[in-house]
A and B are shown apart, each in its own frame.
Chain A
Amino acid sequence: MLFLVSSADFISLYLALEAQSLCFYVLAALKRNSEFSTEAGLKYFLLGAFSSGLLLFGCSLIYGFTGVTNFSELARIFTGGTQEFLVSTTALPACELGMVFLLVGFLFKITAVPFHMWSPDVYEGAPTPVTAFFLIVPKAALFGVFLRIFGESFYDFILPWQKILLVSSLASMILGSIAALSQTRIKRLLAYSSIGHVGYLLAGFACGTIEGIQALLIYLVVYIFMNITMFAIILSALRREHLQVVPRLKYITDLAFLAKTNPVLALTFTVTLFSMAGIPPLAGFYSKAYLFFAALSSNLYLVAVIGVLCSVLSCFYYIRLVKIMYFEAPKNWCSFSRIPVENAITLAITLFFILFFMFYPTPLHLITHKIALTLCL
């Protein structure tokens, strides 16, 4: 994935992307004897291969009508800087079409809305540590590389792709919050909530300004931390069943009464959920607020309004988890045993970040500002 982010050409982009994706397909099907896992692997493979095909078709169209595959040369061509290579006006629509295909392939891999079909299934079926990996890594890597492509080479075509990204981000936000309302399984809930988060990220991307990119990067970092915390909690909820300690947390109601059996874990979980919902003194609120400010400052009023509304909607299902933890008596009493030490340390670090990010956001702010500037210049 490091190759992916530092690629400067469509060839290396495709090779790195495929190399990464192939590993992911295999990872999703890691538990060979589980039906869920193999099915998830197969679905992920089909989805990923299809989206790579679309992406590649976009690359081929752009190559065919401009003759180069390097990002900076594409930037030079599209801004009309060099004398040798002015793109003739008949070629421009084809380049736009290629760019649209590229964007569609990218949206597939990010699991944004019109193309998110199998991703909740994949996230649910894959083994839980692998799901944690999936939620965080491909998104971060792909956002990195596509920020470079669209910020550098295709910036002049911003009108078409901004519209596509806006539509996709609005739909993702709305779907992410509505579809998660009726879920009863934790991993599926997290999958839909991550679709919602991707909607917010795409809104930051669609701004096209430096603040937009900076907001996107801050949100991405906070999103990574929040997801690490969530999965550390889910993976550490060990249950004692039939004299055996078994790590299993599938349904939401499994979390019931965590407040009494493991109050610190319940408190951690509560803080994380509040951060994901965007409640004030936590990191999630800061990143969302910055994102909405960036959207407003580039005149994307509808996005900001709908973003806030969807945020409110998503509060519901996050707080429902809190309610289940604190106020519901479980149907079958299963006792939780102590969480492993590694999880505890991870949780401590990320929780510290989430709680106190609001008071000292300056380092992250400066770093992302620098990154956004280098991307744009």
Chain B
Amino acid sequence: MILFLLGIWGIFLNRKNIIVMLMSIELMLLAVNLNFLLFSVYLDDLIGQLFALLILTVAAAESAIGLALLVVYYRIRGTIAVEFINLLKG
């Protein structure tokens, strides 16, 4: 759970890099995974572990798409600093 809060904090405190944001999101998802696994061990129930496995799969796919989006964005903009993402302001 502390991992989860660290992940959220990481997203908001980020001034420099979108990759850091992506990493924080992955951290959040991983923390939730850990949560699930711990609960399932405590409750002696298999569903938690099943769910954790599926979440892991989905998180992998999502980070793949996130990185692909980042690459496309970089090709157009040439930078991944956070403060330049303000084209659509208003």
Contact = CB atoms under 8 A, between A and B. Distances in A.
Interface of A: 10-11, 14-15, 18-19, 22, 25-26, 29, 32-36, 38-43, 45-46, 49-50, 52-53, 56-57, 59-61, 63-64, 67-69, 120-121, 124-125, 183, 188
B9 interface: no
Contact of B51 (A67, A69, A183): A69
A201 to B, nearest CB: 25
A124 B88 CA distance: 8
B51 A29 contact: no
B29 A56 contact: yes
Contacts of A14: 51, 54-55, 58
Nearest to A188: B90
A49 to B, nearest CB: 5
A38 B66 CA distance: 12
Interface in B66-84: 66, 68-70, 72-73, 75-77
A53 B7 contact: yes
Given A11-B50, A50-B11, A60-B35, A125 B69 contact: no
A40 B88 contact: yes
A15 B59 CA distance: 10
B11 A41 contact: no
Contact of A11 (B11, B18, B28, B54): B54
15 contacts: A14-B54, A25-B69, A26-B68, A38-B72, A41-B69, A43-B88, A46-B21, A46-B25, A49-B25, A56-B29, A56-B55, A57-B35, A64-B35, A64-B43, A69-B51
A15 to B, nearest CB: 6
Given A35-B76, A39-B87, A56-B55, A67 B66 contact: no
B44 to A, nearest CB: 9
A336 B89 CA distance: 29
Given A36-B87, A53-B28, A121-B88, A63 B51 contact: yes
A18 B62 CA distance: 8
A22 B29 contact: no
Contacts of A40: 88
Contacts of B58: 14-15, 18-19
B65 interface: yes
Contacts of B48: 63-64
Given A18-B62, A39-B88, A46-B25, A64 B72 contact: no
Nearest to A64: B39
A178 to B, nearest CB: 14
Interface residues of B, number: 43
A52 B58 CA distance: 11
Given A22-B61, A49-B25, A35 B69 contact: no
A44 to B, nearest CB: 9
B65 A45 contact: yes
Contacts of B42: 64
Contacts of B43: 64, 67
Contact of B65 (A25, A64, A188): A25
Contacts of B55: 14, 56
A339 B9 CA distance: 50
Contacts of A43: 85, 88
Interface string B19-61: 0011001001101100110111011010110110011001001
Contact of B72 (A32, A67, A69, A124): A32
Contact of B76 (A25, A38, A124, A183): A38
Contacts of B4: 53, 57
B10 to A, nearest CB: 11
Given A26-B65, A53-B7, A125-B88, 17 more contacts: A15-B54, A18-B58, A18-B62, A19-B58, A36-B87, A36-B88, A39-B85, A39-B87, A46-B21, A46-B25, A49-B66, A56-B32, A57-B31, A64-B35, A64-B38, A64-B39, A64-B42
